[in-house]
Amino acid sequence: MQVIEVAGKSYFYHERISFRPVEASDLDRIRELRNDESTWIQLTDPRAIGPADQAAWFQSLGQKSGKFYFVAFDEEYPFIGLVRMDEHDPINRSIRVGADVVPELRGKGHGSAIYEALKKYCFDFLNCHRIWLLVLDTNSVAKRLYEKVGFASEGTLKEAVFRNGCYIDYCVMSILEGEYRKS
């Protein structure tokens, strides 16, 4: 991973994927992605986001300690999805990660590229010891992706999310720095 400057802006680049800070011009795409049923159905909060809520979220980004949001892109696609890192604990060197890829680009290797870049960034630049995420037990596609890039199940938040009239378990998955360095 390297940091590159283009037109006075910093971007993180690793292999084929780049991350850049969220800009106002991204808000319509982010809202469309977030409000797509195939995205929100997998998240904790199923409520649709309107322009006013999103504007408030965007204005608060610089004030949120320990929360990082980036747009993932590559040479072919200027907006692959939204990458988030939060629950950053610098004392215990832990961070939670997540990413949402636009529906038409899913299943094309972008998720794997994003998580490989996230691991490199978190372990080599943020000095993390542990990277973790949450995934609905019913989301077998995402669970396979996370396992493929080195995350392992470490526990379950039982019946933590309500969807379609029933409660679903949230699976906690993580990768430790030592596991990352061995791969």
pLDDT in tens, 32-82: 999 999 999 999 888 899 999 988 888 887 666 668 899 999 989 999 999
Domain that holds residue 154: 2-182
The type of residue at 111 is G
Q: Write out pLDDT tens, residues 4-21.
A: 555 455 578 788 899 998
What's the length of the chain?
183
How many CA atoms lie less than 13 Å away from 149 in the CB half-sphere? 22
* Arithmetic mean of pLDDT, 93-119: 96
Q: 61: which DSSP letter? A: G
Q: pTM of the full predicted structure? A: 0.90
Q: What is the pLDDT of residue 105?
A: 97
CATH code for position 141: 3.40.630.30
Structural domain count of the chain: 1
Q: Write out pLDDT tens, residues 114-169.
A: 999 999 999 999 999 999 999 999 999 999 999 999 999 999 999 999 999 999 99
